[in-house]
C-alpha cells in the first residue's frame, strides 16, 4: 500500500505537478491539501483535460481550478465506498471532522482484496 503522501498534492502545486502525482497514484486523481494539510478538493485526469481545453496554463496553481465539492467518508466503510466507486470515483479520502486525511480508499485496493 502506498503512503498517504503519494495521493496528495498541495493546492499551491501546478497542474503539471498534479499530472505527475496522478500518474504515480494510479488512481486517475489526487487529493488536494492546503498548507494546514486539510483536504480541500480532488483533482482528476478529467480536470486536467478541462483545464487544457479551457486554455489554462499547466503552471497555474490548482487552487485556481478546484471545485468546492468532492466525495469523502468519515470512516472506511466498504459498503459506502462501493456506492461511490460505482459512480466512477477511483479515490476516496477518509477524513476526520476537520478534513485531515486519516486514510484513503482506492478502487484498485477494493478490487484487489
**Looking at the predicted structure, is the pLDDT value of residue 6 above 80?**
yes
**Looking at the predicted structure, is the pLDDT value of residue 87 above 80?**
yes
In this prediction, residue 82 has a pLDDT band, given cuts at 50, 70 and 90, of: very high
Which pLDDT belongs to residue 113?
77
In this prediction, residue 3 has a pLDDT band, given cuts at 50, 70 and 90, of: confident
The backbone torsions φ and ψ at residue 88, rounded to the nearest 5 degrees and listed phi first, read 95, 0
Separation CA 101–CA 19 (nearest Å): 21
Which pLDDT belongs to residue 109?
87
Domain 4-111 top-level CATH class: alpha beta
**Looking at the predicted structure, is the pLDDT value of residue 77 above 90?**
yes
Q: What is the pLDDT of residues 36-72, one digit of tens each?
A: 999 999 999 999 999 999 999 999 999 999 987 999 9
CA nearest neighbour of 9 among 37, 46, 51 = 37
Q: What is the pLDDT of residues 7-36, one digit of tens each?
A: 999 999 999 999 999 999 888 999 999 999
Separation CA 93–CA 108 (nearest Å): 14
Query: 3-state class of 90 per DSSP?
Result: coil
Return the domain boundaries, the chain.
Answer: 4-111
Amino acid at each position: 500500500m502506498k503512503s498517504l503522501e503519494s495521493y496528495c498534492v498541495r493546492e499551491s502545486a501546478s497542474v503539471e505537478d498534479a499530472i505527475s502525482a496522478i500518474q504515480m497514484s494510479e488512481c486517475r486523481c489526487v487529493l488536494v491539501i492546503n498548507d494546514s494539510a486539510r483536504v480541500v478538493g480532488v483533482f482528476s485526469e478529467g480536470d486536467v483535460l478541462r483545464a487544457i481545453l479551457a486554455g489554462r496554463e499547466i503552471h497555474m496553481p490548482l487552487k485556481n481550478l478546484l471545485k468546492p465539492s468532492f466525495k469523502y467518508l468519515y470512516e472506511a466503510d466498504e459498503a459506502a465506498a462501493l456506492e461511490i466507486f460505482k459512480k466512477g470515483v477511483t479515490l476516496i479520502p477518509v477524513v476526520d471532522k476537520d478534513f485531515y486525511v486519516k486514510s484513503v480508499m482506492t478502487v484498485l485496493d477494493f478490487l484487489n482484496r
